Amino acid sequence: MERKHVHFLLFFTSISLPAVISVTCRWTGSILSEGSCFLYESTPVFYSVAKSECQSKGGVLATVRSMTQMLESTVQAPDFSSVWIGANDIAVEGTWVWEDDGSTATELTGFWQYDYSQPDNYTATEDCVNIFVTSPTQKRTWDDECDTAYPFLCMEKDQITSADPAVSTSSAAHATSTTIIHASTSTATTPTIATTLTTSTRPTTSTMRPTTTSLKTTTKTTTSKTSTSTTPAKAPATTLQQSGASFTAVNALLVLSVCALKYLVI
């Protein structure tokens, strides 16, 4: 009996997802937008006063990084109003920098969505930037004189952040082992009985001598073998009975032969 084993390998796949950063705003009334907390102050003040007010809260005049932040952070501002944000070119005319970190206010370091002809430095002293709100969906940046009183937008510098553990997912393919058994086919051979009939006759002159007849019976037995047993197969009972019947038939044939010989001699 032949056995064949088929094995399937077990594979594991593991995927790690980045940690999720959670931000909690500290100030009451702050608006969370894209990871930053903004607080709209409706009291109109000069640019320098707005800057000091935000610093006293532990923040800074806001740096706006996208159109989404511009729209969401000033949602409380009425239409056709201006709101100070933290950008100016006080140090070098035409070079706009952010109050947050002193970086140049460009499209790469912050959202710089000027209105059509802005900045125009119309009075030659327009060094501070504000968001001009036309409608809830129409907002642009303008440059104006820093001594103009506008509401302002503060941004938290140290909002509370926390990172949830990275999520890891894994999948496994179960191993499978299959055994295929091929059974050997074995055929048992029934014992075969071979019968040999030998007849001997001697001619006589005056008296007839009985013919001497000898019967020789040769029995050959073939044993069957299987892959799981070495014990010789036994002849079925029905086969032995058939062998006895054959032997009786042979004896009857011999008797008839003797009678025929006597008839011929007579």
The residue ranges of every structural domain in the chain are 13-163, 188-224+254-266
Higher pLDDT, 64 or 236: 64
Mean pLDDT of 3-16: 50
* pLDDT, the chain, mean: 69
Q: Is residue 115 pLDDT above 70, yes or no? A: no
Give residue 195's pLDDT: 37
Cis geometry, peptide bond prior to residue 119 (ω within 30 degrees of 0): yes
Contacts 24+ apart (CB under 8 A), 225-231: 225/186, 226/184, 226/186, 227/1, 227/184, 227/186, 228/1
Give residue 104's pLDDT: 82
Q: How many residues does the chain have?
A: 266
Give residue 4's pLDDT: 55
Mean pLDDT of 33-39: 94
Mean pLDDT of 31-53: 97
Please work out, in degrees rounded to the nearest 5, the angle formed at the alpha carbon of residue 141 by the alpha carbons of 148 and 29: 80
CA dihedral angle for residue 254, residue 258, residue 263, residue 264, rounded to 10 degrees: 100
Q: Which uninterrupted H or E stretch holds 143?
A: strand 138-144
Higher pLDDT, 224 or 20: 20
Highest mean pLDDT among 54-63, 166-175, 208-217: 54-63
Q: What are phi and psi of 43, to 5 degrees?
A: -75, 120
Answer whether 261's CB lies under 8 Å from 211's CB. yes
Read off the tokens for 47.
Answer: 């640019």
Higher pLDDT, 207 or 19: 19
Answer whether 71's CB lies under 8 Å from 133's CB. no
Looking at domain 13-163, its CATH superfamily turns out to be: Mannose-Binding Protein A, subunit A (3.10.100.10)
Mean pLDDT of 2-23: 56
**Percentage of the chain lying above the pLDDT 90 cut:** 30
Which residues, at least 6 apart from 164, have a Cβ–Cβ distance to it below 8 Å? 19, 20, 21, 22
Higher pLDDT, 172 or 96: 96
Read off the tokens for 102.
Answer: 């002193």
Residue type present at position 258: V
Residue type present at position 29: G
Higher pLDDT, 88 or 191: 88
